[in-house]
Amino acid sequence: MKEKVIRAISKFNHELKLQGFKAFQIEEDTTDTRTYSRKEFYKICLTTGKSRIHYSDKTYEQEGTILFFGNPHIPYSWETISTTYVGYTILFSEEFFKNSERSESLQQSSFFKIGGTPVLKITDEQRTFLNTIFQKMITEQESDYVFKDELIRNYISLIIHESLKMEPSEGYEKNKNASSRLTSVFLELLERQFPIETTANPLQLRTAQQYAQHLNVHINYLNRAVKEVTGRSTTTHITERILTEAKALLQHTDWSISEIAYALGFDYPTYFNNFFKKVTGTNPTAFRLAEV
């Protein structure tokens, strides 16, 4: 009989969720992979080196020192090109930052928006100043100061406001094939919804319409692009990915059928049963028993 196991969440991710914030120095992280649920946290990086960043429908190639802003709701990937790469990273949840009266700056900042520019080129003078801010946050998170969270939020606000005063870098190139790039962004966003780690955070995007709204494009445009590039519909991709996750949860967790249904965004277990049987020809319970 196969042993049922609960999907492991890294210790780092668990601590990050509890605290809502974490700062660390990149060069001290080379031997320790920090695994976390990227879809839950904003990210700001101050890095020096050569890199290629894919963010929404744009690609940024940067060399030198940059400041990068990652939005948990926008898919992105990062390629490190240079052998030496140093700097700082901070991760924080929206809930952590919203406790600040200055949280409006986060929502209004163009750096975190899908149509904005998430990369800034940083001068040596600016890097020296920002290094100090990141170092202060690293020190403060380990302190016993009662109001350290508020102080850290002030530091984050300071970084955002200093960034708003700088000219955004436009060193990007749009994909020549708009349909190909939009499809790539859709597939990245789809994959970022998974794996489902806990029933406390159910799947949020389940329909083609929801993905189109999230990507700020018309549903017809998204459907045409995905069909043109992959030969399959947007809905087919979503259905297949949800089904893959459903099978994994049935095989490798001891969650009940109701818990799995809820985690995958179904309002009722019967809806999940009907979905699963329509696609596979069998129901979830029978599938689970057959895999034991």
Residue 225 — pLDDT band, cuts 50, 70, 90? very high
Q: Which of left, alpha, beta for 113 (phi over 0: left; psi -120 to 50: alpha)?
A: beta
Rounded CA-CA distance 166/239 in Å is 43
Amino acid sitting at position 65: T
Residue 55, H or E segment: strand 42-55
3-state helix, strand, coil in the chain (%, to 5): 50, 15, 35
Within 8 A by CB and 6+ apart from 125, the residues are: none
- Cβ atoms of 292 and 251 closer than 8 Å: no
Reduced to 3 states (helix: H, G, I; strand: E, B; else coil), residue 43 is strand
Rounded CA-CA distance 170/190 in Å is 27
* Rounded alpha-carbon distances, angstroms, from residue 104 to 58, 98, 109, 245: 26, 8, 8, 36
Q: What is the pLDDT of residue 201?
A: 87
Residue 263 — pLDDT band, cuts 50, 70, 90? very high
Reduced to 3 states (helix: H, G, I; strand: E, B; else coil), residue 124 is helix
Residue 18 — pLDDT band, cuts 50, 70, 90? low
Residue 5 — pLDDT band, cuts 50, 70, 90? very low
Q: What is the pLDDT of residue 40?
A: 74
> Going from the N-terminus, what domains does the chain have, and what CATH number goes with each?
11-166 (2.60.120.280), 178-290 (1.10.10.60)
Q: What is the rounded (10 degree) CA torsion for 91, 97, 103, 106?
A: 20
Rounded CA-CA distance 103/100 in Å is 5
Q: What is the pLDDT of residue 37?
A: 56
The reported pTM is 0.57
Provide long-range contacts, Cβ within 8 A and 24+ apart, for 148-156. 149/20, 149/21, 149/96, 149/99, 150/99, 150/100, 152/21, 152/23, 153/96, 153/97, 153/99, 153/100, 153/102, 154/100, 154/102, 156/44, 156/90, 156/92, 156/97, 156/106
The most confident of the ranges 30-44, 94-108, 246-260 is 246-260
Rounded CA-CA distance 284/275 in Å is 10
Comparison of pLDDT for 117 and 67, the residue scoring more: 67
Q: What's the mean pLDDT in 123-129? A: 94
- Cβ atoms of 289 and 257 closer than 8 Å: no
Q: What is the pLDDT of residues 69-79, one digit of tens each?
A: 988 777 677 88
